[in-house]
Structure 1
């Protein structure tokens, strides 16, 4: 066997490895960044109220973060495709740390607003570029599995982050919280410095950095439908997060918070194996089952008179969300070339951000004129409509591919 054959075999062996040190580091960075976000997200409105006693302004301070992250998404995707992903992630983590330190020194609402926007922009870059970087260390045939494992860090952060943030504030105060989050962000940057970046990736980025700015550099048209479908899961999340507690009070259902705890545990467990199912089973069956299960969960929430039925709905909702979002996100990345993974990632996240934002707005309007039952029924119908759109699109793609194959054969 020649030396070149040995090199090729070694390269193929390395490519097939999922649990590399780089991949583990990136999961850790994702966990750190998401934990910091969840720690501050639950208490920032209270901090704003301490500076200026205005509920309206507290809402603006809380929500502007998501707006800034959303606006930054397409540019973050473009940057991920054009420039060195490793150093973009390091820079984003450093800016996150600096923006949180800025909270520490914010003595007025305008200053806090500035650092909140800066934090949102940096988080938009970090969350987009980090997963684009992670895909460079995930074998293509195991992409669904890899993305599923990658999301475990974010799920764990959503479980521990909010309560940890509240605990630190109650026990030690806001200033200590901000210092802890800043140190976590800098720790994430330090881990990234230890990451060995693929040499061939540097060469590709040097070429792409000289490319022109186009719509294709900002939006992956191949993944728009998947982003919309994925956004419908987020739409339901936004509605549930905003109105479930109110629904529980209206129906005299105690301990409604258990719904979120059960859901987080189910999503965590699902992430351990759903990616492998996606890779082996295929996209269509997973997405269809996920949308149906999610639609049923919305109906159950809408009519639930007891906590027991809400918990059943929580399990179903988490199964649908976990399977659907992982499969749609991995398919969005598979649809593009390796040089456009960043824009595919940002396009998918844009759909999620919009769905998460529109859910409470539209849901609030429906519940105001009708009731919570109608609101959740509308969510269920939208999920089923999304299933129709998804299957029509998949059929169109299949016919398009079959037509190209037939034309080539002729």
Structure 2
């Protein structure tokens, strides 16, 4: 029988996962709707759309650096409270986005709220999950993120098309308000806080990145660039190829993610990231290439299936890998860095791929974004070869010294 401290499906874990789902439903319902809203309301070009998407991401990145340090010092509850408060106010603030300038300001504040809140939840999850089940636990917890990233764009675009932008904002504001009472039910594990003397001694030292997590964070950045192209331009790509219901891509993607994520988490725990990352990258690449040649709903769904399977294998495994590389008190920093790589990737993807789309086409843009997976594979495999070589050299040195 499973020991109590090894139990994964606790009340805390379930409620925390629901809170994370609500948070990302808010974000992912708004994000794909913003490009269409900006184009229709302000008659903007693709570059302006990419700026509106990107300022949110950069604001979230800065907020996460602050959140990671505050969590390390035992201020998790305060960061969550401030983050939720700012997120609710800024979500409601979209009602008054009557100009590009105001919209950009709201997006910055919105990014700050999201950055603070989204760092708190996964850090708490990594404290709740038994260490031996970190891959499986983060896989299930990450389902809330992947599920929202898959179904929320469909809901958001549907609300925008049928009822307009104000209705969409009303619904997303309500979703965020619901997090407050739910988060109060969770019994937060004691933060891995640093003693006061140590805080005073190192208060001027803000650690942005541990060298142990540079590789997984960089790989996640490459994956997120591809997602930036999807979340920002898929609706516009649908118009280019005369497909009106591209939202089905996200639903099919959600099905694939739900299918593979629990399995990939268990494989990660048993065999490590080498068994998960290469096949995941290949599936994402196939998904993007097939999407770029899509002219019918059938091929749109096939590309979504491949992309979802690959994404569902890659992201939770990279997150679990990132967390396992650091000590418990650094999990806030590690989760912040991981989530920052998502937002930075989306920002880069939105801006860079938006420029490519402006000068070529959305189809060509998706073909070129598949190159990110080629880079991911090359960098990862080279790092594993280098690691294996170091291990062999170490063994030789040990034999010689013996």
TM-score normalised by L of structure 2: 0.84
- How many angstroms does 1:147 deviate by? 1.1
Deviates more, 1:18-27 or 1:67-76: 67-76
Matched, 1:210 2:200: yes
Paired position in structure 2 for 1:8: none
Matched, 1:85 2:85: no
1:7-40, Cα deviation, whole Å (9 max, x unpaired): xxxxx93321111111112111111211222343
Instruction: Kindly indicate whether the alpha-carbon contact (under 8 Å) linking 1:81 and 1:208 is maintained by their aligned counterparts in 2.
Output: no
Alpha-carbon spacing, 1:239–1:156, altered in 2? closer, same or farther (3 Å): closer
Alpha-carbon spacing, 1:376–1:214, altered in 2? closer, same or farther (3 Å): farther
Deviates more, 1:53-62 or 1:22-31: 53-62
Instruction: Kindly indicate whether the alpha-carbon contact (under 8 Å) linking 2:193 and 2:329 is maintained by their aligned counterparts in 1.
Output: no
Stretches of structure 2 that go unaligned for 5 or more consecutive residues are none
**What is the correspondence of 1:145-294 to structure 2 with a 5 Å cutoff?**
145-165=136-156, 178=169, 180-199=171-190, 201=191, 204=194, 209-213=199-203, 217-245=207-235, 247-251=237-241, 255-294=245-284
Match of 2:19 among 4, 26, 29: 29
**What is the correspondence of 1:381-396 to structure 2 with a 5 Å cutoff?**
381-396=371-386
3-state DSSP of counterpart to 2:200: coil
**What is the correspondence of 1:6-405 to structure 2 with a 5 Å cutoff?**
13-44=3-34, 53=42, 55=44, 60-104=51-95, 112-165=103-156, 178=169, 180-199=171-190, 201=191, 204=194, 209-213=199-203, 217-245=207-235, 247-251=237-241, 255-367=245-357, 369=359, 374-400=364-390
- How many angstroms does 1:149 deviate by? 0.9
Distance across 1 between alignment mates of 2:88 and 2:182: 14
- How many angstroms does 1:317 deviate by? 1.3
Distance across 2 between alignment mates of 1:380 and 1:173: 33
3-state DSSP of counterpart to 1:151: helix
Distance across 2 between alignment mates of 1:243 and 1:312: 18
Distance across 1 between alignment mates of 2:84 and 2:155: 20
Instruction: Kindly indicate whether the alpha-carbon contact (under 8 Å) linking 1:83 and 1:206 is maintained by their aligned counterparts in 2.
Output: no
Distance across 2 between alignment mates of 1:121 and 1:27: 21
Larger Rg over CA atoms: 1
TM-score normalised by L of structure 1: 0.82
Instruction: Kindly indicate whether the alpha-carbon contact (under 8 Å) linking 2:32 and 2:231 is maintained by their aligned counterparts in 1.
Output: no
Distance across 1 between alignment mates of 2:105 and 2:350: 25
3-state DSSP of counterpart to 1:83: coil
Distance across 1 between alignment mates of 2:382 and 2:364: 27
Instruction: Kindly indicate whether the alpha-carbon contact (under 8 Å) linking 2:146 and 2:312 is maintained by their aligned counterparts in 1.
Output: no
- How many angstroms does 1:251 deviate by? 4.8
Deviates more, 1:356-365 or 1:397-406: 397-406
Instruction: Kindly indicate whether the alpha-carbon contact (under 8 Å) linking 1:224 and 1:348 is maintained by their aligned counterparts in 2.
Output: no
- How many angstroms does 1:278 deviate by? 1.6
Instruction: Kindly indicate whether the alpha-carbon contact (under 8 Å) linking 2:154 and 2:250 is maintained by their aligned counterparts in 1.
Output: no
Stretches of structure 1 that go unaligned for 5 or more consecutive residues are 1-11
Deviates more, 1:140-149 or 1:375-384: 375-384
